[in-house]
């Protein structure tokens, strides 16, 4: 599977157990000799997603002996402060619902910035100098902390503030969801696409009972709609090839 030259520097992948971060993890396993993962626990909405992490890591190990050899420790950091800010910021009669960007009204601005700071702190301890995240400015223009400029600014801030030489890698930054499915196929063939499809979770509502062609989810929330649309577009290009 390996095509790109393998870097000796170790990588820490922000890994939520969703489609994007799973694809990023496979991408990192192709490139770096040592890869560790970090996840953030901040409330029950994401409990299903978090529960996907270990089975997905196991699935990636089974796909390739090289990946099995490179995949190292997993770190789960308590980021409950995010949920507490989200709740505190709501007035007592405000409902928790999706806003026009597909974010719950409890969403805390700058969440991904905080994740990068926490990941940087763990990476220093683990002597890892590459941080890999699934930030993408193509599908979610409403997430200002996922924009390329924000991530580049964080790279400067982390390197100054932690006296490091981190490189922040965002392999999905310019990809749409269809291209993300395609990237999974390029990295690990149909078996990786299948692992992403059935092993990862993206649904905002945490629905994990119904298996659709594109995976598990409610099928109606913005995350499910985006994932389904991307999968359909990816399938259409496969037929055309
Ligand atoms: Zn959903």
Ligand 1: centre distance to CA 1 (Å): 32
180 is a domain residue: yes
Ligand 1: centre distance to CA 210 (Å): 10
Flag the least confident range among 87-101, 121-135, 217-231: 87-101
Ligand 1: centre distance to CA 230 (Å): 14
Ligand 1: centre distance to CA 208 (Å): 9
Banded model confidence at residue 2, pLDDT cuts 50, 70, 90: very low
CA-nearest of 22, 37, 133 to 77 is: 37
Percent of the chain whose pLDDT exceeds 90: 63
Ligand 1: centre distance to CA 2 (Å): 34
Q: What is the CATH number of the domain that holds 194?
A: 3.40.50.620
Ligand 1: centre distance to CA 228 (Å): 10
Q: Which residue has the higher pLDDT, 240 or 41?
A: 41
195 is a domain residue: yes
Query: Which element (helix H / strand E) includes 183?
Result: helix 177-199
Percent of the chain whose pLDDT exceeds 70: 85
80 is a domain residue: yes
213 is a domain residue: no
| Under 8 Å between Cβ of 62 and 38 | no
Ligand 1: centre distance to CA 48 (Å): 12
Query: pLDDT tens across 185-211, in order?
Result: 999 999 999 999 999 988 878 888 889
Instruction: Give the highest mean pLDDT range of 39-43, 97-101, 174-178.
Output: 174-178
Ligand 1: centre distance to CA 154 (Å): 30
Ligand 1: centre distance to CA 227 (Å): 9
Check residue 95 and give its pLDDT: 62
Ligand 1: centre distance to CA 202 (Å): 7
Check residue 90 and give its pLDDT: 59
Ligand 1: centre distance to CA 193 (Å): 19
224 is a domain residue: no
pTM: 0.91
Ligand 1: centre distance to CA 226 (Å): 10
Total domains, the chain: 1
143 is a domain residue: yes
Ligand 1: centre distance to CA 70 (Å): 33
Q: How many H helices and E strands in the chain? A: 8, 7
Output the six-digit token pair for 211: 């298996």
Ligand 1: centre distance to CA 205 (Å): 5
Output the six-digit token pair for 67: 């990946």
Domain boundaries, position 168? 7-201
CA-nearest of 78, 153, 66, 86 to 115 is: 78
């Amino acid at each position: 599977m390996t095509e790109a030259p393998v870097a000796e520097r170790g990588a820490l992948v922000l890994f939520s157990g969703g489609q994007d971060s799973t694809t990023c993890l496979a991408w990192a396993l192709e490139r770096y000799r040592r890869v560790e993962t970090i996840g953030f626990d901040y409330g029950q909405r994401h409990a299903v997603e978090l529960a996907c992490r270990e089975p997905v890591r196991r699935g990636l190990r089974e796909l390739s002996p090289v990946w099995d050899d490179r995949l190292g420790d997993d770190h789960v950091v308590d980021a409950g402060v995010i949920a507490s800010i989200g709740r505190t910021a709501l007035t007592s009669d405000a409902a928790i619902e999706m806003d026009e960007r597909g974010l719950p009204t409890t969403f805390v601005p700058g969440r991904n910035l905080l994740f990068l700071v926490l990941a940087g702190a763990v990476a220093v301890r683990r002597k890892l100098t590459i941080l890999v995240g699934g930030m993408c400015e193509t599908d979610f223009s409403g997430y200002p902390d996922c924009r390329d400029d924000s991530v580049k600014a964080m790279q400067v801030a982390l390197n100054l503030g932690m006296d490091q030489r981190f490189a922040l890698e965002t392999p999905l930054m310019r990809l749409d969801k269809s291209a993300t499915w395609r990237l999974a196929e390029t990295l690990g063939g149909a078996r990786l696409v299948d692992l992403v499809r059935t092993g990862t979770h993206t649904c905002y509502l945490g629905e994990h009972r119904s298996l659709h062609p594109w995976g598990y989810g409610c099928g109606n929330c913005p995350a499910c709609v985006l994932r389904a649309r991307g999968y359909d577009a990816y399938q259409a290009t496969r037929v055309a090839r």
